[in-house]
Amino acid sequence: MNAGDDAPRMTFEQALAALDGVVRRLEAGDVGLEEAIGLFEEGRRHLAACRERLAAAQQRIEELTAEDGPSAPPPF
């Protein structure tokens, strides 16, 4: 199993929710410049993570037959 390699720290919706949260806090308008820059950078990281996930999808299909058990070599 290669779960450790493949599992991102956040799922897409977690990253998107975090991004929404950053925007909400910035829009609240009561943050200082330093905090704002920190939030902005955090938002950019979440944005990049989301974009990366979108870009990772490549419209592939792999077909396994009933004979392939769970021990079959991992597809693509």
Which residues of the shown chain bind another protein in the complex (CB under 8 A)? 1-3, 6-7, 11-13, 16, 19-20, 22-23, 26-27, 29, 31-33, 36-37, 39-40, 43-44, 47, 50-51, 53-54, 56-66, 68-70, 72, 74-75
Q: Of 9 and 64, which CB lies nearer to another protein in the complex structure?
A: 64
Phi, psi of 40 (to 5 degrees): -60, -45
> 38, 22 in Cβ contact below 8 A?
no
User: Cβ 65 to another protein, closest distance in Å?
Assistant: 5
